[in-house]
Amino acid sequence: MPSSPSEPRSDVDLSVPSAARAYDYFLGGAHNFAVDREFADQVLRIAPSVPAVTRLNRSFLRRVVEFCLDQGIRQFLDLGSGIPTVGNVHEIAAQTDPACRVVYVDYEPVAYAHAKQLLAGHPFATIIQADIRAPEKVLEHPDTRRLIDFSQPVALLMVGVLLFISDEDRPAELIAAYRERLAPGSFLAISHIASEQAAPELQAEVGRLVDAYAAADEYVHVRTHAEILRWFEGADLVEPGLVRLPDWRPDNLVEQKSVAAPLGYGGVARIP
């Protein structure tokens, strides 16, 4: 990884592409630079399914937030929140209850700067620039403590972020460190890139994507259903379990038929 947990990125190096800004480009956003677009176009040539999977992921996030709201959740901790784009958590949440609390966390300077600007003056939502591999820093941050009441249920969102956490960074322990702070009735949501269910051609695309990101110093870790499922141990997976992204409480038949559907899993569990 290009930074250590104790030193979140604070610079914007315009000669180096960023995964956060490439993701924004794939979603059709405008918060990216020439270097990101060149990188993203190169990824598109070798892995054309990427924009489709980013949209499936973003759509999964929306359904998760709506589900959590239905369950009475009014506080959200969104780890690896990315550059603000259509369907930000606080916007979805505010449709149900404008007093929902949302803390976004990202270490990428552009994601942080844009979210900070977007949320300026917002009484109930903010972003902190931190590396999620340092859970104490996130959980003890003054803004987290100000907005999130950990004696009440929280939705912990790890959507499209654990793929950037290597096995050496012990994702299971990392998740546990956040989970142990959550009150009963909280929810843990995870989505992750995968390829085991994909046809060989799509698997090869994912392999090329991993290589392209590695060449740009961004390390993507593809994991299996079994590996991701283990992170939910001890919590109650809500129906339909850990499934392909568009199959999680679907509301869009077109998405379920997407060629990119086998490229990611998503699930939500209730903390007992």
Q: Least distance to ligand SAM from the beta carbon of 61, Å?
A: 5
The piece of 18-26, 180-188, 223-231, 237-245 that touches ligand SAM (CB under 6 A) is: 18-26
Cβ contacts of 245-248, under 8 Å, gap ≥ 24: 245/53, 245/56, 245/57, 245/59, 245/60, 245/191, 246/56, 246/59, 246/60, 248/60, 248/63, 248/64
Residue type, 113: A
Give the count of residues interacting with ligand SAM (CB under 6 A): 21
Q: Is 88 an interacting residue with respect to ligand SAM (CB under 6 A)? A: no
Q: Is 264 an interacting residue with respect to ligand SAM (CB under 6 A)? A: no
| Of residues 48 and 234, the one with the C-beta less far from ligand SAM | 48
Please state, in angstroms and as integers, the Cα–Cα distance from residue 126 to each residue in 35, 104, 123, 131, 220, following that order: 28, 6, 8, 16, 27
Give residues with Cβ within 8 angstroms of 6, minimum separation 6.
131, 134
- Residue pair 128/141 in contact (Cβ under 8 Å)? The answer is yes
Closest CA to 257 of 266, 243, 244: 244
Residues numbered 24 to 83 that lie near ligand SAM (CB under 6 A) are 57-58, 61, 80-82
Give residues with Cβ within 8 angstroms of 139, minimum separation 6.
150, 178, 181
| Of residues 151 and 168, the one with the C-beta less far from ligand SAM | 168
- Residue pair 19/160 in contact (Cβ under 8 Å)? The answer is no
| Of residues 234 and 264, the one with the C-beta less far from ligand SAM | 264
Among 53, 125, 126, 131, binds ligand SAM (CB under 6 A): 131
Q: Least distance to ligand SAM from the beta carbon of 129, Å?
A: 8
The piece of 41-49, 104-112, 170-178, 248-256 that touches ligand SAM (CB under 6 A) is: 104-112
Residue carrying the six token digits 């392909």: 244
| Of residues 100 and 138, the one with the C-beta less far from ligand SAM | 138
| Of residues 84 and 151, the one with the C-beta less far from ligand SAM | 84
Q: Computed from CA positions of residues 1, 166, 140, 110, in that sequence, does the dihedral angle turn out positive or negative?
A: positive
| Of residues 69 and 161, the one with the C-beta less far from ligand SAM | 161
The piece of 36-44, 127-135, 144-152, 253-261 that touches ligand SAM (CB under 6 A) is: 127-135
Residue type, 137: K
| Of residues 103 and 111, the one with the C-beta less far from ligand SAM | 111
Strand 236-237 versus strand 264-270 pairing type: antiparallel
Q: Least distance to ligand SAM from the beta carbon of 58, Å?
A: 5
Q: Least distance to ligand SAM from the beta carbon of 216, Å?
A: 13
In the complex, the residues that contact ligand SAM under the rule CB under 6 A are 19-20, 23, 57-58, 61, 80-82, 105-108, 111, 131-133, 159-161, 164
